[in-house]
Amino acid sequence: MQRIFVGDVQGCADELGELVQRARDAFGGDFELWLVGDLVNRGPASLRVLELVRSLADAGRARFVLGNHDLSLLRVANGQRSYGFDDSFRDVLEAGGDWLDWMRTQPLVLPGRIGQRRFAMLHAAAIPGWSLDALCERARRVEERLGGSPKDAKRLLGARPEDDDDAEFLARLTRCRSIDERGRWSSRTPRAPRDAWHARWRAEKPDFGVVYGHWATQRLHVAPLLRGLDTGCVYQGLWGDRFLTAWLPVQDAEDPFATPDEGFWRIAARAQYLHDPG
Residue with Cβ nearer Mn ion (37 or 256): 37
Q: Smallest gap, in angstroms, from Cβ of residue 157 to Mn ion?
A: 16
Residue number, 31 or 197, with CB nearest to Mn ion: 197
Least Å distance, CB 93 to Mn ion, is: 19
Instruction: Name the minimum Å distance from CB 95 to Mn ion.
Output: 22
How big is the CA angle at 40 (ends 36 and 43), to the nearest 5 degrees?
115
How many angstroms separate the Cα of 107 from the Cα of each of 27, 123, 262?
Answer: 26, 10, 29
Number of residues that bind Mn ion (CB under 5 A): 4
Out of 61, 214, 227, 242, name the contact with Mn ion by CB under 5 A.
214
Q: Give me the least distance between CB of 73 and Mn ion, in Å please.
A: 12
Site for Mn ion in 34-93 (CB under 5 A): 38, 67-68
- CA 253, CA 267: separation in Å to the nearest integer? 25
- DSSP H/E element including 19: helix 13-27
Pairing status of strand 117-121 against strand 185-186: unpaired
- Using alpha carbons, select from 246, 257, 255, 271 the residue that is nearest to residue 16: 246
Residue 61 vs 123, nearer CB to Mn ion: 123
Q: How many CB atoms lie within 10 A of CB 184?
A: 8
Quickly list DSSP for 224-249.
TTEEE----GGGTBBTBS-EEEEE--
Q: Which of 216, 210, 198 is nearest to 247 (CA)?
A: 210
Q: Which is nearer to Mn ion, 114 or 124 (CB)?
A: 124
- Residue closer to Mn ion, measured from CB, 45 or 234: 234
We find the least distance from the C-beta atom of residue 32 to Mn ion, in angstroms, to be 22
The region of 82-90, 95-103, 212-220, 261-269 touching Mn ion under the rule CB under 5 A is 212-220
Q: Which amino acid makes up residue 227?
A: R
Whole-number Å distance between alpha carbons of 277 and 121: 33
How far apart are CB 14 and Mn ion at their closest, in Å? 20
Nearer to Mn ion, 68 or 88 (CB): 68
Which residues would be at the binding site for Mn ion (CB under 5 A)? 38, 67-68, 214
